[in-house]
Amino acid sequence: MHAIDQPLSAIRKLLDGGTVTSLDLAEECISRTRANADINAWTCFDADALREEAKQADRRLSAGERLPLLGIPIALKDNIEAAGMTCGAGTGALHGKAPNADAELVARLRAAGALIAGKVGMHELAFGITTNNAVTGAVRNPWDHARIPGGSSGGSGAVVGARFVPAAIGTDTGGSVRVPAALCGVSGFRPTVGRVSGQGIAPISVTRDTAGPLAYTIADCALLDAVLTGAQDGDSKVELKGLRLGVPRDPFWSDLEAESKRVAEAALEGLRQAGVELVDVELPALGELNASVSFPVALYEFVRDMRAYLDARDRGVTLEEVIAAVGSPDVRGAVGTLLTGGGIPEDVYKSALEARKRMQALYAQTFASQRIEALVFPTTPRTAALIGEDETVELNGAQHPTFGTFIRNTDPGSNASLPGVTLPIGLAHGLPVGLALDGPLHSDRRLLAIAEAVQSALPPAPRLETSY
């Protein structure tokens, strides 16, 4: 096992102790990338530039400098700006264009010593769940190259799942960090909206968007969260005995792929044996409220927020040009008429924001009245679909919309701005299954501590078998 296969804390010790060099990590990243080029994970990857960055990190380490991420390669989703690298948001009008400066979160990563390994593929404009992108090509799941890695941060899931890098940053609007993390067999964290700066990130919706980390373990996600936010550890260790977690059976546990359900139920039983009190909870009218919020907020704010981003960051194109150049049919269907009479009326948008407040109140009341610290459920109802199943996907013998199927469990918490995590819990038919936890607003550090305890109590997730 190479050092790049280790969690961030272990890599940190190896680098600081001189057992491994940053250049070793960079060379392994480059080697694995070249050996698995068909995954098509990167949209911007300069091997020589990565080597030079690694050599600089090694000189700093040799001089005694110590930082949380010094010398460790991290990948960025292609909608996050990094100086010297292109930032295309997966779309034709921006493809190949370099920004003028780092996004704020990238500045924080660099300040912590991270190597920015490159930019990774995404669903076009982040409007989808497959990362089957007509502009940059389909990103492939490292567990089965015929399948999707999830989305929209599919490249972020793929490079960590394939172990090209030990961590990546994605963005999540309705599940776009947690879905690819789950489908690629890694851990992922969606922070409370507003916790991580969105400056320098091509948006869909400032009400719903947030950047978040994908990594091998929840502990790694917690470390990256601290770097991105400056947060200090609150609850560093959680005792599972007596911890109360809510199990929202309907709809989160309903109509699951049989093998995925078996794996998820086994994880619940493991938590029960570890002393967790599992409480069945109901969230009445959640589905109706979520439908009232999801698309109206995203589509209304995309027009406003993407236009503001393009202007503020001087990206050199207009919103009209971005929409006109959309290449992926599903994205064109979503945004193609937003400027020509197909947009969301302001009264519908305002009604959606009111429904969002009711969602937040419902979640808060549920957490408080049931005395639960988080909700626990399967991250997705099934494992990764085949590439090309863009419109519908099979679930228990019936065809369902692909997008709606994969975000069914992650979208409600997203619309309420809740923090959420996913962690790998096993395989169904040889493909990864994720278990999700949603916590109350602003409970991020507590939720990460709970998820770390949950991960420690369950059997280690299977590792991708590779020839590395």
Q: Looking at the domain assignment, is residue 325 inside a domain?
A: yes
The CA-atom distances, in angstroms, between 41 and each of 88, 108, 180, 309, 462 are 14, 24, 13, 25, 22
In this structure, the strands spanning 210-215 and 187-190 are antiparallel
Q: Reply yes or no on whether 119 is catalytic.
A: no
Catalytic-role residue among 152, 292, 328, 443: 152
Q: Looking at the domain assignment, is residue 304 inside a domain?
A: yes
Q: What is the DSSP letter of 141?
A: B
Catalytic-role residue among 22, 153, 156, 176: 176
Q: What is the DSSP letter of 312?
A: H
- In angstroms, the CA 386 to CA 231 distance is 39
- In angstroms, the CA 8 to CA 167 distance is 8
How many domains, the chain?
Answer: 1
Mapped onto helix, strand or coil, the DSSP state of residue 54 is helix
Q: Looking at the domain assignment, is residue 153 inside a domain?
A: yes
Where do we find the tokens 């936890």?
A: 437
- In angstroms, the CA 142 to CA 147 distance is 9
CATH of the domain at 262: 3.90.1300.10
Q: What local confidence, expressed as pLDDT, does residue 235 receive?
A: 56
Computed on alpha carbons and rounded to an integer, the radius of gyration of the chain in Å comes to 21
Q: Looking at the domain assignment, is residue 263 inside a domain?
A: yes
Mapped onto helix, strand or coil, the DSSP state of residue 428 is strand
Mapped onto helix, strand or coil, the DSSP state of residue 74 is strand
Q: Looking at the domain assignment, is residue 276 inside a domain?
A: yes
Please report, for the chain, how many H helices and E strands are present, in that order. 16, 15
Q: Looking at the domain assignment, is residue 144 inside a domain?
A: yes
Sign of the CA dihedral with 332 first, then 392, 408, and 287 last = positive
254 contacts: CB under 8 Å, gap ≥ 6 = none
Rounded to 5°, angle at Cα 74 from 69 and 75: 165
- Give the other-Cβ count within 10 Å of 136's Cβ: 24
Q: Reply yes or no on whether 152 is catalytic.
A: yes
Q: What local confidence, expressed as pLDDT, does residue 452 receive?
A: 97
Q: Looking at the domain assignment, is residue 115 inside a domain?
A: yes
Say if residues 128 and 151 touch (Cβ distance below 8 Å).
Answer: yes
Tens of each residue's pLDDT in the chain, 468 residues: 899 999 999 999 999 999 999 999 999 999 999 999 999 999 999 999 999 999 999 999 999 999 999 999 999 999 999 999 999 999 999 999 999 999 999 999 999 999 999 999 999 999 999 999 999 999 999 999 999 999 999 999 999 999 999 999 999 999 999 999 999 999 999 999 999 999 999 999 999 999 999 999 999 999 999 999 999 765 578 999 999 999 999 999 999 999 999 999 999 999 999 999 999 999 999 999 999 999 999 999 999 999 999 999 999 999 999 999 999 999 999 999 999 989 999 999 999 999 999 999 999 999 999 999 999 999 999 999 999 999 999 999 999 999 999 999 999 999 999 999 999 999 999 999 999 999 999 999 999 999 999 999 999 988 898 777
Residue numbers of the domain that contains 325: 3-457
Where do we find the tokens 């280690």?
A: 460
Say if residues 213 and 225 touch (Cβ distance below 8 Å).
Answer: yes
Q: Looking at the domain assignment, is residue 464 inside a domain?
A: no
Catalytic-role residue among 22, 77, 294, 417: 77
Q: What local confidence, expressed as pLDDT, does residue 233 receive?
A: 67
* pTM score: 0.97
